[in-house]
Structure 1
Amino acid sequence: MGSIMGKAMDENLKKNQEFMLKVNQLTLERQIQMQNQMRERQMAMMVARSRDMFQWFGAFCGTYAFVAIAANLKGKNKAIMGPLLPLTFILGYQYDLAYGSKMDRMRKEADRVLDTESSLLDMPHGLPTFADIENGRQKAKDASITGKGHDIFL
């Protein structure tokens, strides 16, 4: 009779383990999906910010160019034309970032770095371990306890 109970318990344990595996897999898939959606939203905000920055900087450059050309035509200060060259490069960079293919080129370069230069991405002292995190948590807890005691005497 004990072997029948043992077999039933083993089957229940196995079913429970399979169920927990499926639950963990579903949870992980949801976390991956959530993180990806958050990443996409952050990237969309970055693109929108770049486009807004391009519009503002374009308006500034256009205004400056108009004033500089007008001053140059009147024969006043010709040095006012000097900043137009670097400003056009910055404006071109902003346009490429906001509307051009810069994001694709950056993504390809990031893929290349991941594939061929992954050692550049290593964390100093490697990935934190559970023991490292626990030691840091304990130190912070100890510091907060001893810090409170000192505040009384100040």
Structure 2
Amino acid sequence: MQNQMREKQMAMQIAWSREFLKYYGTFLGFAALGLTAGAIKGKKPALFVPLIPLGIVGAYQYDMAYGTLIRRMKGSAENIIENECNLLELPQGLPTFELIEKARKAQRKFFIDPSKEI
């Protein structure tokens, strides 16, 4: 059941990336046309500079939507699990039953009205 939910979330993320890419691609196209026209007309080659970060973001979005980014991320995650599992350990280790009970009792004492006797 959790795997199905994970798959649905990943599918939604990829679908969102594809939709975002459509709008971002349109924006990037108009920006490229406008900046190119402004650079040629005003003889200001510095107007081409914003196209570099805009293009990098566009390439990332394309890679996320249609490229191999998801596969590379999965491979990297598998590598971390296999070779760097110490990075995945929880601070102070896994919680024990005793620690959970102690925290639960501390919360209970905090929320009980001290003026009432138990």
Higher relative contact order (CA 8 A, sep 6+): 2
2:57 to 87, 90, 105: 90
More helix by share: 1
Using the TM superposition, give the Cα deviation of residue 77 of structure 1 relative to its aligned residue in structure 2, in angstroms: 4.4
1:73: how far off? 2.1
Larger Rg: 1
How far apart are residue 120 of structure 1 and its match? 0.7
Structure 2 CA distance for aligned equivalents of residues 37 and 138 of structure 1 = 35
Does 1:132 find its partner at 2:105? Answer: no
Specify the code of the residue in structure 2 equivalent to 1:104. R
> Which residue is equivalent to 1:144?
111
Q: Distance in 2 between matches of 1:60 and 1:131?
A: 56
Normalising by structure 2, we get a TM-score of: 0.87
Q: Structure 1: which 5+ residue stretches go unaligned?
A: 1-33, 150-154
Once residues 50 and 142 of structure 1 are traced to their aligned partners in structure 2, the CA distance between those partners, rounded to angstroms, is 47
Deviations 1:76-99 (A, max 9, x none): 644222110121111111100111
1:72 aligns with 2:39: yes
**How many residue pairs are counted as aligned between the two chains?**
115
Task: Give the alignment of 1:1-154 within 5 angstroms.
Answer: 34-75=1-42, 77-146=44-113
Runs of 4+ aligned residues of structure 1 deviating over 6 Å after TM superposition are none
Name the TM-score, length of structure 1 as normaliser: 0.68
Write the letter of the residue equivalent to 2:78: D
How far apart in 2 are the matches of 1:125 and 1:57?
44
Structure 2 segments unaligned to the other structure (5+ residues)? none
